[in-house]
A and B are shown apart, each in its own frame.
Chain A
Amino acid sequence: MTDKNKLKSKTPEGIGGGSLRDAIRVPALAVLTGLIIGAFAIIISGANVFTAYGALFVGSFGDPVRFFTGFQQLFSTGETAGLLKAIYPFTESLVTATPYIFAGLSVALGFRCGLFNIGAEGQFFIGALCSAFVGYSLIGLPAYIHLPLALLGGAAGGALWGIIPGYLKAKFGAHEVVNTIMMNWIAFKLSDWLLNGPMKASGFRPVTPTVELSAQLPRFFPDPIRLNWGLILAFVVAYALYWFLFKTTLGFEIRSVGANPDAAKYAGMSIVKNLVLVMAMAGGLAGLAGSAQVLGVDHWVGQGFSAGYGFDAIALALLGKSHPFGVVLSALLFGFLRSGATRMQSMAGIPIDIISIIQGMVIVFIAAPEIIRWLYRIKNIKAEETVLTRGWGK
């Protein structure tokens, strides 16, 4: 029995053998290498690397000096304003990370079933719009009904957006990569129409009306801190997904279909049912990401709302090895990076798109661990298990 316990502690499920330390090594080095390449990009654009990365740090975590003065102020005058300002960057990073957690879980779930959900972007937007709609159109409902309803609306919208390409893939073998990307573009155009038409608030800007107070996710601290219950919800959902994937029969089916659809079929599992279920759930998760962002942070939806969450989520899922806990960690990392990058943009003039450059690199390194191995002279790295390229047909 001690043997079993020893092995269990060293083999987190779903990471495919090997210890936790091995599992983290490649992703960590991938991020490091990505940042180094990012540094090159900064140098090319003529800025100072130290200023830039310094701004990145302050933007993500906060200025240590401010913390100190903030505490001083609290103890001397009882005023919290200074302390609040000090923790603002840190909480903003968490706020940025929240939709990433949901979106990353969405893509990761897809990967587990061998599906490439690039549609998280569109599902996010549709989910946000649906949540906003429930949020601003129903008036006078108590919060304990309105809020869950709004969240549910978002998840349902996203699920719908995911189930369409999922069904097309399951029944006809149409490759989900192209179809989900098409759904993204359709979502963008649809939202353009909705925001300029039926869902437009009075005024000139193409935005929805503000969501009712009863549908907003409560915040922990007074303004300007935007940290809200969405983060807790994200953690809860991440754990729930972990339990679902690794401790239930349905999760076992999904992972089997992803690992080897032929063997799964021979063993009696229904490929169609699982593909459709996964795309619906993945869509729902991405839709929840949009919901959390609307109901917790912005309280209205405008154009360009989804701004790259879906694509970032791909890098997240790969970095986190498609495991819910890995995704949470990666999402936190990306949240901090992005949050800091905004400050890097204003302080050092580095466009925020540098994050996309870093992400592209990270994805490549994760998918080709041999590059990392060659760069850093490490032995014994296993390649990713999930095979996503199955050609274009069934």
Chain B
Amino acid sequence: MTTINATINTALAKRSQITYGIVLIAVGLFIYLIFGLNTQAGLQTTYGTNLAGSQALPIPDIVVPAQMTVMIMAGIAVFFGALQLARGVRSTGWLIGILAATFVIAFLTWAAQGKSFNLTGMLSSSFVRATPIALAALCGVISERSAVINIGIEGIMLMAAQAAVVAATVTHNLYVGLFAAILIGGLIAALHAFLVIRFKVDQVVSGVAINIFGAGFTAFMSSRFLQKSGDLLNNSGVFPTISIPGLAKIPILGPMLFENNIIIYLMILLVIAMHIMLFYTPWGLRTRAVGEHPKAADTLGVNVYLMRYVNVIIGGIIAGLGGAYFTIGSVGRFDEQMTSGKGFIGLAAMIFGKWNPFGAFTSSLIFGFADSLQVKLQILRVPIPSEFLLMAPYIVTMVILTGVVGRAIPPAADGQPYEK
């Protein structure tokens, strides 16, 4: 069997090698034709590095000649594409990175030619916008590591968001709102776990039901109560930005990482904590065992059902935190459908991150970047209709999901109910 597999693998590898090479060259040509030729010679693009109101030490802006930069990017892409076709580059991760980097740099340089464009601001905004996606992804990771698929993250986040803002407004205390969000998240996840583990409801169906119910319930409460009594129920204020002294002074990175509100800091801590928990504690080992081979774990004395319940509920708590971001961490009020599919994008980030906390986090950053990119592009008045830019995160999700999912391997028992 192994020799057969080896031969098939080399055939497939050869085909993917050629594909990557061609794609890289095609992108390089695209950059040249669409961006390069459309960049006026003599214009410069200014990448602003200083953010107003930030504690970071000011440094001079990065100014580049627009057309030359774009051409260089095109050149790099074509070069690596040719290299891939001829010799084959070792790591496809690097190739994807080069592909993305050249395209994005060329795109930004072209879009902002002759103008200035706040790079630090965009990085900071990417990080912030990545937060709900990352939290959704983390919820997915911990749930699916114990082999329970949770599609209902979107619904959980909606309900947590609404609970957070209402609780915070009524008690004039944002932390109560935060607690409410976490509580709701945990409860709904517990319901999902109960349906899926005890009654063996199909996990996808349960998740979709939670989404439908969540959307309907929050819309119901919103029209019935929130819209009429906005000030009493839907006006909570937002968590303040906390700057970490010292670290916030670092230029470019400082504002991005160290000048955020508490939810975002919690997100970073959770990524690290989950990584440690999953891979360095006995608990994490049991969780992963339950996800890969529940039968074996069971015979060794691990309580499969309990592990799954706890993990899904923890995931729900994290998703609740994600929901809180939308209201008390961002705008201070609830609007219907305000999660706009971030729950699902979080799932895509989870898959792209190969079910690892850090991987999910990095993928979320990419999605956050796409999200903040379209806002910036609207400000720059790029000649693309704003609606198409708004589509970008969703198209990116689809592309990534399709390109990666064949190779990303979920926990072996993912999605299968356990029969003792």
Are chains A and B touching in the complex at the 8 Å CB cutoff? yes
Instruction: Say whether A393 contacts B387, CB under 8 Å.
Output: no
Q: Which of A364, A388, A393 touches B408 (beta carbons < 8 Å)?
A: A393
Let me know if A182 is at the binding interface, CB within 8 A: yes
User: Which chain A residues in 179-196 approach chain B with CB under 8 Å?
Assistant: 179, 181-183, 185-186, 189-190, 192-193, 196
In the complex, the answer to whether B202 meets A389 with C-beta atoms within 8 Å is: yes
Residues of chain A lying within 8 A (CB to CB) of residue B203:
389
**Does any Cβ of B come within 8 Å of A368's Cβ?**
yes
Measured between beta carbons, the chain A residues less than 8 angstroms from B341 are 181-182, 185
Q: Which residue of B lies closest to A197 (CB)?
A: B385
Number of chain B residues close to chain A: CB under 8 A: 51
Q: How far is the CB of B145 from chain A (nearest CB, A)?
A: 13
B410 beta carbon closer than 8 Å to chain A: yes
Whether, in the assembled complex, B209 has its beta carbon less than 8 Å from a beta carbon of chain A, the answer is yes
Which residues of chain B are within 8 angstroms of A379 by Cβ–Cβ distance?
A: none
Known contacts A389-B149, A389-B415; A384/B202 CB under 8 A: yes
B203-220 CB mask vs A (1 if < 8 Å, else 0) is: 111101110111111011
Q: Which one of B210, B219, B414 contacts A351 once the chains associate, using CB atoms below 8 Å?
A: B219
Contact A360 B408 (CB under 8 A): no
B285: CB under 8 A from chain A?
A: no
Bound-state Cα–Cα, A186 to B214, Å: 22
Q: Is B171 an interface residue (CB 8 A)?
A: no
Report if A359-B220 is in contact (Cβ < 8 Å); known contacts: A178-B401, A197-B385: no
Q: Is B390 an interface residue (CB 8 A)?
A: yes
Bound: A388/B204 CA distance, A: 7
CB distance from A56 to the nearest CB of B (A): 15
Selected contact of A364 from candidates B201, B216, B344, CB within 8 Å: B201
From residue A371, how far is it (CB to closest CB) to chain B in Å?
6
B-side contacts of A217, CB under 8 Å: none
How far apart are the CA atoms of A367 and B209 in the complex, in Å?
Answer: 10
Chain B 398-413, CB-CB to A under 8 Å as 1, else 0, gives: 1001110110111000
B contact residues around A190 at 8 Å (CB):
387, 391
User: Does B387 lie within 8 Å of A192, measured CB to CB?
Assistant: yes
CA distance A182 to B370 in the complex (A): 15
Pick the residue among A41, A178, A197, A318 that contacts B344 (CB under 8 A).
A178
Distance (whole angstroms) from the CB of B311 to the closest CB of chain A: 17
Q: Which residues of A have CB within 8 Å of B202?
A: 367, 384, 386-389
Please, which residue of chain B has its CB at the minimum distance from the CB of A360? B213
Q: Are A178 and B390 in contact (CB under 8 A)?
A: no
Q: How many Å lie between the Cα of A368 and that of B223 in the bound state?
A: 30
Taking a contact as CB atoms closer than 8 A, the residue among A182, A353, A391 that contacts B394 in the complex is A182
Taking the complex as formed, is B340 at the interface, i.e. its CB lies under 8 A from any CB of chain A?
A: yes
Give the segment of A93-101, A125-133, A155-163, A166-174 that binds chain B: A166-174
Q: Is B397 an interface residue (CB 8 A)?
A: yes
Over the window 98-110 of chain B, the binary record of Cβ atoms lying under 8 Å from chain A Cβ atoms (1 yes, 0 no) is 0000000000000
**Proximity bits, B367-390, A CB within 8 Å = 1, else 0:** 000000000000000000101101
Most B CB within 10 A of own CB, among A118, A190, A197, A392: A392
Q: Tell me whether B391 and A185 are in contact (CB under 8 A).
A: yes
Alpha-carbon gap, A249 to B408, bound state (A): 35
Q: Is B351 an interface residue (CB 8 A)?
A: yes
The answer, yes or no, to whether A357 is at the interface (CB within 8 Å) is yes
Cα distance, A190 to B392, chains bound together (Å): 11
The answer to whether A363 and B387 touch across the interface, beta carbons within 8 angstroms, is: no
Contact of A116 (CB < 8 Å), options: B204, B213, B216, B409: B204
The answer to whether A174 and B394 touch across the interface, beta carbons within 8 angstroms, is: no
Q: Bound complex: CA of A367 vs CA of B409, how far in Å? A: 27
On whether the beta carbons of A172 and B402 are closer than 8 Å, the reply is yes
A interface, size bucket:
35 or more
Asked if A113 is at the interface of the complex by the 8 Å CB criterion, the answer is no
Residues of A within 8 A of B206 (CB): 364, 367-368
When C-beta atoms are compared, the residue in chain B nearest to A195 turns out to be B387
Q: How far is the CB of B17 from chain A (nearest CB, A)?
A: 18
Q: Are A351 and B208 in contact (CB under 8 A)?
A: no
Of B200, B224, B408, B410, which contacts A45 at CB under 8 A?
B224
Q: CA A193 – CA B210 in complex, angstroms? A: 30
Q: How far is the CB of B404 from chain A (nearest CB, A)?
A: 9
Partner among B209, B225, B405, B416 whose Cβ is within 8 Å of the Cβ of A174: B405
- Shortest distance between the CB of B351 and any CB in chain A (Å): 6
Q: Is the CB of A367 within 8 A of B394?
A: no
Does A173 lie within 8 Å of B405, measured CB to CB? yes
Check A353/B208 contact, CB under 8 A, given A178-B344, A182-B341, A391-B410. Answer: no
Beta-carbon contact of A314 and B391 below 8 Å: no
Q: Are A351 and B220 in contact (CB under 8 A)?
A: yes
B204 touches A389 (CB 8 A): yes
CB proximity to A under 8 Å, residues B171-220: 195, 199-206, 208-210, 212-217, 219-220
Provide the residues of chain B in CB contact with A364, threshold 8 Å.
195, 201, 205-206, 209
Select from chain B the residue with minimum beta-carbon distance to A165: B398
B223 contacts A118, C-beta separation under 8 Å: no
Given the interface contacts A356-B212, A391-B410, does A370 sit within 8 Å of B220 by beta carbon?
no
Chain A residues, Cβ within 8 Å of B223: 351, 353
Within the complex, the shortest CB–CB distance from A333 to chain B, in Å, comes to 17
Q: What CA separation (Å) do A354 and B351 show in the bound complex?
A: 34
A361 to B, closest residue via Cβ: B213
A381 to chain B, nearest CB (A): 12
Within the complex, what minimum Cβ distance (angstroms) separates A263 from chain B?
A: 18
CB of A314 within 8 A of CB of B395, answer no
For the complex, what is the distance from the CA of A140 to the CA of B12, rounded to whole Å? 55
A393 touches B204 (CB 8 A): no
A181, A354, A388, A394, most chain B CB atoms within 10 A:
A181
- Contacts from A to B (Cβ < 8 Å): 41, 45, 116, 118, 165, 168, 172-175, 177-179, 181-183, 185-186, 189-190, 192-193, 196-197, 311, 314-315, 318, 349-351, 353-357, 359-361, 363-364, 367-368, 370-371, 383-384, 386-394
What are 28 pairs between A and B in contact, CB < 8 Å?
A116-B208, A118-B208, A174-B401, A175-B401, A177-B208, A178-B348, A178-B397, A178-B401, A185-B341, A186-B395, A196-B387, A197-B385, A311-B215, A318-B205, A354-B220, A356-B215, A356-B216, A357-B213, A363-B209, A364-B206, A368-B199, A387-B202, A389-B415, A392-B405, A393-B405, A393-B406, A393-B408, A393-B409
Q: Known pairs A172-B405, A193-B388, A311-B215; list 19 more (Cβ under 8 Å).
A: A168-B398, A172-B406, A174-B401, A178-B348, A178-B397, A192-B387, A197-B385, A351-B219, A353-B223, A355-B216, A356-B216, A356-B219, A357-B217, A367-B201, A368-B200, A387-B202, A389-B202, A392-B410, A394-B406
